């Protein structure tokens, strides 16, 4: 399972394994990409979950 605080070790492989364990691997797709330019067509997804994303905020 993933870790709540220290994110070291939370890998794509861990997420895919968790999806198999939970029986939802046929319902999800994991995509690693730049959040500013996701390789997804408009209206082709229901939810995007972004984890470990760093944001720059204007001053």
* Complete DSSP assignment for the chain: ---SS--TT--HHHHHHHHHHHT-TTT-------TTS-S--TTS-S-----S-------
What's the structural domain count of the chain? 1
Does 16 reside within a domain? Answer: yes
Please report whether residue 19 resides in a domain.
yes
pLDDT score, position 52: 61
Run means of pLDDT, 10 residues per run, the chain, 59 residues? 61 89 93 82 81 60
Among 20, 17, 24, residue whose Cα is nearest residue 1: 17
Do the domain assignments include residue 57? no
Q: What is the pLDDT of residue 22?
A: 95
Q: What does the pLDDT read at residue 4?
A: 59
Asked whether residue 52 is domain-assigned, the answer is no
15 part of a folded domain: yes
Q: Which domain holds residue 6?
A: 1-33
Cβ neighbours, 10 Å, residue 12: 10
């Amino acid at each position: 399972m993933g870790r709540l605080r220290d994110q070291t070790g939370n890998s794509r492989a861990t997420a895919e394994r968790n999806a198999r364990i939970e029986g939802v691997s046929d319902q999800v797709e994991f995509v690693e990409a730049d959040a500013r330019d996701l390789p997804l067509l408009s209206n082709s997804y229901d939810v995007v979950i972004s984890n470990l994303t760093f944001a720059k905020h204007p001053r």
